[in-house]
Structure 1
């Protein structure tokens, strides 16, 4: 599972090419189009491989532990650095992707649900409140139809209404 010395050298070069791509003119470098998480992971991997190479290819786990400690982290990061590096050494297109933010989707992206809420709010007349939406989402029919297990908070209802372009104002005194 541990890469050969030749694989380590080619992987270091491949990581350098990703982190510091050359300009078309051959002089200088371009700024790579990488997100912060991916860039940090690649920097950890290249540092780890350089450290492992400098240690004359001994102490694979110890070098990963040292990189994790240098990053202010622990055993989990050490294990992940080893895992990312092994995968990258096998295939240089296998970059350690970050899942951060990929699962942040709204229930409102379901058109049927969104249309149902619109129809309900329109049926209430001109004066509606976010509380109306909270109570509607709590109804058993709504939850069963859209396979929801719990209701929403008042603040979530306000966010949904704003996203659906409803506006509200304070009651005049």
Structure 2
């Protein structure tokens, strides 16, 4: 069985989506700034970006991420692997080319079980949003955390690390790549 990898871009103050998400601002106001490293970065950024999908057999996303991304992902659904959407709102599966989005209403653990079964020996990628990743981290279900920290202070928006006082997730840094556009950190989750 593969690893469970959580991957997300965030500002230096921990924001993973800007404030005021809407149809016009799917990642919140100015939220697209968190992903410029992927599209306008250096060769080192491009190598990190290319690695994101390597060895992945299935994905898990939250409903907010699905709703924000389904249109921009286009006719093939971008992922080209099974995607399990954690949600409280039932929905029939959505098929976009080779990508099938399955809506899971019986909790994050069920979505992860289904994703692992679909992935077989490959890894499962948790892509967000922030609330979804936080649930998996605090439940101790993540093996590896990849953060792409953009040199920007948002001040407001969706924070990845909001949690109750005393909630700790221990990490061991295993890799770092620094570019002018982002610091790419990889951690093994110890909890």
TM-score, length-scaled by structure 2: 0.22
More relative contact order, 1 or 2 (CA 8 Å, 6+ apart): 2
Looking at secondary structure, tell me which structure has more helix per residue.
1
- TM-score when normalising by structure 1: 0.24
Larger radius of gyration: 1
